[in-house]
Chain A
Amino acid sequence: MTVAPEKSAELVVPEGHVKLTIDGLEVVAPKGELLIRTAERLGIVIPRFCDHPLLDPAGACRQCLVEVEMGGRPMPKPQASCTMTVAEGMVVKTQHTSPVADKAQQGVMELLLINHPLDCPICDKGGECPLQNQALAHGRADSRFHETKRTFPKPIPISTQVLLDRERCVLCQRCTRFSSQIAGDPFIELLERGAQQQIGIAQEKPFQSYFSGNTIQICPVGALTSAAYRFRSRPFDLVSTPSVCEHCSSGCAERTDWRRGKVMRKLAGEDPEVNEEWICDKGRFAFRYATAADRLLRPMVRDADSGQLRESSWTEALRVAAEGLAKARDEAGGVGVLAGGRLTVEDAYAYGKFARVALRTNDVDFRARPHSAEELEFLAASVVGTSPESGGVTFRQLESAPAVLCVAFEPEEEAPIVFLRLRKAARKGRTKVFHLGQWTSPAVDKTFGTLLPCVPGGEPAAIEGLFFNSGTAEAFEALSGSGSVILVGERAAEVPGLFSSVLRLAERTGAKAAWIPRRAGERGALDAGVLPNLLPGGRQVTDGTARAEVEQAWGLAAGALSAEPGRDTDAILGAAAAGELGGLLVGGVDPYDLADPELALRAIERAGFVVSLELRPSAVTERADVVLPIAPSTEKSGSYLNWEGRRREFGTTLDGTGALPDCRVLDTLAVEMDADLFTQTPAAARANLERLGATASTRRAEPPAVPAPPAPGAGEDGVLLATWHQLIDNGSLQDEEPNLAGTARTPVARLSAATAEQFGVVAGEQVTVATERGSVTLTAEPADLPDGVVWLPLNSGVSRLRRELGAGHGATVSLRPQARGGNS
C-alpha cells in the first residue's frame, strides 16, 4: 500500500463507532461491523468463501485469515476476519501488508484444494468460480499433497433441479445456512465428520425448497449445479443482460445469460430494495416456455373455406383483424378487450388506449381471474398511483413493521420474495406476522406466524371479529403499532365484503393496506388504466376533468371518451355469450384461469369476431379468427410495476428476433382502423403515457363499503372449498421445464380430522371433491383446517379446480371417500 497513514486527530469517531487501522489506513467503523466488511469499504479485498453479507457469520472456510493486534498485543494466530468484529484501537494487517496473513491464506487454500478434483475444464463454475479465482490470486502454484484424493460418487441429485458434486465442495456451508436461515427449508445439511464430512440430504427427503436455486448461485465452487444448465455453456461465452422477472408481482431484478439468441439461464440480480440477492426457483428456472416448439411466430387467419387457421402475412392478418374489429364495433354491439395480467406497463397502456381510441369502449379489463366490483372500487380508491415515492408500502417497510397481517394471501406461493422479507423480519424478532387463512401452511410456520383461522369466505367476519373478539386482541393490538401493514392477495376478490373490511381494519388500526396481486402485469395494468372504470394514472372514467385531460393528450375530440364505466371481464364474457358483443380482443388470457371457464369458452365461440394476441396456442387461439404472435419478455423492452408500485424497467435481452411487443402490434392494428396510439415501441408508449402526467382532478374514488357478511356455512352435505395457487404448478409459463416441475409440492386434499371422520375419509387415502361440473380426486391429508372445509391447490397436477369443478375459494363442494383401488 502506498497510502500514507492519516493522522488520527482528523478522524471523528461518532457515537457507537470505533476507530481502527487496516493495512496502515485509519478507518471509523460502526460497532459490530465485521472486519471483512470494513476492509471492503476501504477497497481491500480479503479472499473468502463462506462469508456472505446476507447470511449469519460462520467462519467455516478460514480463507479470510488476517493478522490482528489488540491493545498493542498481537493475537497469537491469524484470525478469521469474517467473524471478528471491529474494536477500538485494533490494528489489522491483511495479506497485503502481512506476510503472516498471506502465508496463512496460502496454507488454507492449499488445504481446501487437497481433495478438490481440479476439474475446472469440465466444471460449470469454471470461469466464474471464486475458488478458481482466489486460488490463482492467493494460492500456491503447487500443492505439496501427492497422495490419493478422497473421491465421492458424483454428481448426486439432491432434488430434480439441483445436483451435488461433493468432491468440489469446500464445506463453506453457504447452502445450508441459506436454506435454514433465509428460506427456512433446512433440508440440506452437513453430514458425517472428519475427512468424510459432506453436504447432503436425508434419505427420501429431497431438497424441496422454492428457493433452492439460490444455493447454486451462492455456491463459491462448482459443488451445486443446476440440472437445467449443467454443461450448457461456459460463463465467458455468455452475454449477461439485466432483466426483471416476469412471473410474480415482486418484480425481482434478474440477470439473463444468453448466447446465440437463446437464453441459457437466469440468475438473481442484486437490488437491496426489492429482492436483495435472492429469487425463487420459478423466476430462475421457468423461462423455456418462450422457446417451446409450439411458439407462435407467424400471424394466422382463419380460412373462410376450411374453417382452419392458416399462416398469413402480417399485412393480411392486420387487415382482416382491423376489418373484423371495425365491423364488430360499428355493427354488432361493440368489442370487449381482455388484456390479461402479464403485460408490461407499456403494453397494458396500448390495450387500454386501443379499447378507448380504436374500439371506442370502456369494456376493457386486465383481470384474467375471478374479480368483483368491490375489487374495482378498492383498486381505484386505495391502490392505483401508490408507489414508494408516494409513501406506499415497500419491501423495506415490511422489514421494519411491528406487525404484518396477511389476508387471503399466501406469501410463499404467491409472492415468494415478499415471503422472504417477512421471514427475515420475523426472524430478527422485530415483526409479528399474522395470517388470516385456513390452515397452518408452511409459510405460517416459516414466518414464525400466528394463524387467525377462518372458513373460506369468512375472512370479513373474522376481520370484524378482530375489533371485538378478545381472542384476537393481540393481533389488533399489534396492528395498531405505528408502521404496521395489511397485505391482501388476489383471492380477496372471491370473498364479498373482504376489501371493505380490510379498509375498515386499516382505518381503525392505522395500519397501511397493500394489494399484492399474483401476476407481474396486474399492478402496471391498473395504473395504465386497463379497467372498465379507470383511465391511465388512476383517472376515473366518470370524472369529467380526468376524461378531458386524456382526450386532450390523446388528441381526441372533447366528449369522445365515454363517461360510462365499461363492463368487467365477466360482464364482457357474459355479453359476448349472450350475443350482445360482436367481437373480442384477447391478450394473454387462459380461459381456464377464469371463474367460469365454460362461460368464457362459450363467449369466445359465440362472439362474431375474435382477435387473439398470444405467445403460444391456447383455448383462445383455437377459437380465434385472427391470431397475432407477440414477443415474450426476453424479446422486448418495457417495465413492470411491482406490487409496491415501483417501476421495474428492463431492456431487450434477445434483439432482432423479429417478435413484436403487444404495443407495436396494437399500434399497427389501430392504424389499420384509422386510429393513432403512438405506441410503436415500448419507449414511445412510455413517453405517450408520461405525457399524461398526474391528473389535476381532485376527485377521489369512493372506497368500497360492502358490509361484512356472516361467515358462510356449507350446509349438511357439502363442505367449503379453500384454495390458492401453488408457486410451482400447471402454469403455462412453467412449461418445458421438467426439472423445476419435480420440485412442486405434491397436490393433496387437506381437511380436519373431524371433517374426515364425518365424511368417512381416511388420511392417506383418496378423497373425491366434486361439484355438479366435475370432480377431482386427491390423497387426503389431515391439517388444522376449520371443520367443514377442504383445501385443494388451485391448479396443481390433477387438481385443476376451475377447469374441472368450475369452483374457487369459498365455493361449496361435495366430499366423498374414494374406494381403495378405485379410479375416478
Chain B
Amino acid sequence: MEFKTILFYLFSAITVVAALRVITARNPVHAALFLVLAFFNVAGLWMLLQAEFLALALIMVYVGAVMVLFLFVVMMLDINIERMRQGFWNNLPLGALVGLLMVGEMAVVLSGRYFGLANLPPQNMPANYSNTKELARLLYTDYAYPFEIASVILLVAIIAAVMLTLRGRKDNKAMHSSDQIAVKAKDRMRLVKMSPEVELPAVAAKEGE
C-alpha cells in the first residue's frame, strides 16, 4: 500500500469518528471542538487531492474564523442540553430509517461502478502547477457572474443582520424630534375604565346611627 493511501484512510477514519462525536457529544463545547478536528482532517484529504488552496482556506476560514466564533457563542449562551435532548428517542426510529435509506442509496450510487477511480483517473500535474492560480483564473473569468452573485448574497446577509440586530444604544439620551412629533397620546397615557365609586347608603345609614 502506498503511503498516500494509508494517509487517506487515516484522515478518513478520524473524520468519520470526529463527525459522529459532533452529534453525540453531550457537551456543546466538545462538539464544536470535534467539528474542528473533522475540518482539519478534511483539509488533509483535500491536500491529498492536490487542492492546496482549498485545504488552507478551509483551515483559515472554518477553523480560524467560523469555529472560534461558534465556540464563543456556545460558551456565552447557557444551553440547556437536557431540553435539547427531549424527544430524541421518540424521533429516533423515523430519523434512523430515513438516514439508513440515504446511506443505502448513496452506497449504491457512489460505489465503484459510477464514480470509481477507474472512471476518474487522477491527473498528475507538473511540479510548478499552481492550484491557487488556476482557481483564481477561473473565478475571475468564466465564473465571474456566479462570483458577483455570491458577493451580492454576502451584502444581503450584512444588511439583514444589521436590520435584525441593530437597536441603538440603550443609554443614549439623544432626542429624535421626528419620534417626539409622531408620538400619540395613547403611547404615553393609558385611560382605564372603572366603575364610579358609589357610597353605599346602607353602610352610611349604619354609621349614622
Are A and B genuine complex partners? no
* A residues lining the B interface (CB < 8 Å): none
